[in-house]
Amino acid sequence: MRRGVHRNYAGCLLCNIQHGKCVLQKEWSFCIHSKLKSFEVEAELLSKVNKNIKQNELIIQHYKRLYGEQTDSSSKWKTWCKIERISGCNRFWRIDNFSKQAVKDYLGTSTCKEKFCSNCKKLKQASRMSRFIPYIEECSTNNQMFHLVLTIPSVKGTELLKAINEMFSAFSKLNRYIRGDKKIKGISFENWGYLGGLRSLEVTYKQDNYHPHLHCLLICENNFLSDKTERNVYSLKRGKMVRKFSLEEIIIQKIWLLLITGQTVTLKNIENVELGYSCMIDKFRDEDYGELFKYITKNDNGKMTYAQFNVLRESLHSKRQIQGYGVLHRISDDHCDETEEQVEAIYAEIRRALESVESPLKESVSPKQLLSDSSSLLISKKKIYSYLRQGNCETFNLNMECAKNETNQ
């Protein structure tokens, strides 16, 4: 037998060779890598993780300062626990190393789940998109999807918590009007055919000015939008005309103002509003998912001041960023659907094939170390979600013929 040729015929499980002979190590690894390429953790992601770990140093400093200012022992303990969690967040990744096949399988890492953590925010966004999008698309089959953005004038830090509470309450009422549970004499939303929606909070900021706004998904039976012919101050951006509005958008702008300011929503009051609060409604595009599941706030490239940190920490405490309504009422961070069953099935098949060749070595490795390893293919079960999202539900199959042929000889 030639040197470099393996006696373990099971190594051919992941290749498409139809004979019963084994292959050289390089060919073997090439076949494995080709088959599992769709589940690769890209170097770009590892680089971002490393960058975010550095950015988290600022958040740790803010929490340490907060810890020093606190006098209550219970509060100090909770803050110290957060410091510990953020400090260890994504520092080391647990992997199974299949060295013969040059494959490393990412199993998990310690995460802090802190709203200010750049890594955890991106992880949550990716997790939400992979789990929620299939369910949303199932609910929207044969229906229309719209992207609704609702804003209010920017507020000072001392007013942010009150503003967020008012927006959540106002959207709940707006949802009831659109659904038809609550009526406005002289105005009907029946032609929308509203089935359900999803609202997501985002807060941007600059100095002591905070801009809370809602990105919303509406699922309707009909395309209710009329032609966009109306103009107002929201049509302008830096003095240039950027968009026009439909009559439906103008009506929602006025209703939104009345709801936020606590006024009674009647036809007369709507007509008396000269200019409402900003509202935009457009047909939903795939790229809008990124806005819908965007993180609640961000560190602004490591420039968040301690004052801004405290305002956001207090205002966003215990706030549910995402809330579903109607057919999407089940949407939450605990949501699970049949997609996860498909993911588990594919992942189990991958593991069976890899483990038929060798038992993995369990390791704890930093993202920086993984980034420097160009010889191994780093895969993750989480990447299977995006694989399925691309319509590959029925196409994944690890060819077992090689092993079967060899077993029968």
Q: Find the farthest-apart pair of alpha carbons in the chain and give their distance in angstroms, rounded.
A: 92
User: Is residue 229 pLDDT above 60, yes or no?
Assistant: yes
Q: pLDDT of 123-134, one tens digit each?
A: 888 888 877 888
The amino acid at residue 261 is T
Q: pLDDT of 372-396, one tens digit each?
A: 998 999 999 988 887 887 766 555 6
- The whole-number average pLDDT for the span 78-88 is 96
For residue 163, the SS3 value is helix
Of 38 and 177, the structure prediction assigns the larger pLDDT to 177
Q: Contact 55/332 with Cβ under 8 angstroms? A: no
Mean pLDDT over each residue of the chain, to the nearest integer: 87
How far apart CA 89 and CA 120 sit, in angstroms, is 8
For residue 32, the SS3 value is helix
Supply the pTM of this predicted model. 0.81
Interhelix angle for 160-179 vs 306-315, to 10°?
40
* DSSP codes joined into one string, 277-342: --EEEEE--TTHHHHHT--S---TTTT--HHHHHHHHHHSTT--SEEEEETTTT-STT---HHHHH
Of 131 and 19, the structure prediction assigns the larger pLDDT to 131
Confidence of residue 341 (pLDDT cuts 50, 70, 90): confident
Lowest mean pLDDT among 213-222, 264-273, 311-320, 395-404: 395-404
What is residue 187's predicted lDDT score, i.e. its pLDDT? Answer: 96
For residue 140, the SS3 value is coil
What is residue 393's predicted lDDT score, i.e. its pLDDT? Answer: 57
What is residue 98's predicted lDDT score, i.e. its pLDDT? Answer: 95
What is residue 398's predicted lDDT score, i.e. its pLDDT? Answer: 60
Confidence of residue 244 (pLDDT cuts 50, 70, 90): very high
Residue 42 buriedness (CB in 10 A; 0-12 / 13-18 / 19+): exposed
- The whole-number average pLDDT for the span 185-201 is 96
Helix (H) or strand (E) holding 223: none
Any idea how long the chain is? 409
The amino acid at residue 82 is K
User: Is residue 24 pLDDT above 80, yes or no?
Assistant: no
Q: pLDDT of 276-326, one tens digit each?
A: 999 999 999 999 999 999 889 987 666 899 999 999 999 999 999 999 999
Q: CB neighbours of 168 closer than 8 A, spacing ≥ 6?
A: 201, 323
How far apart CA 70 and CA 212 sit, in angstroms, is 28
Name the E strands within 119-243.
144-151, 155-156, 194-206, 209-220, 236-237, 240-241
- pLDDT above 90 covers what percent of the chain? 69
User: Is residue 190 pLDDT above 80, yes or no?
Assistant: yes
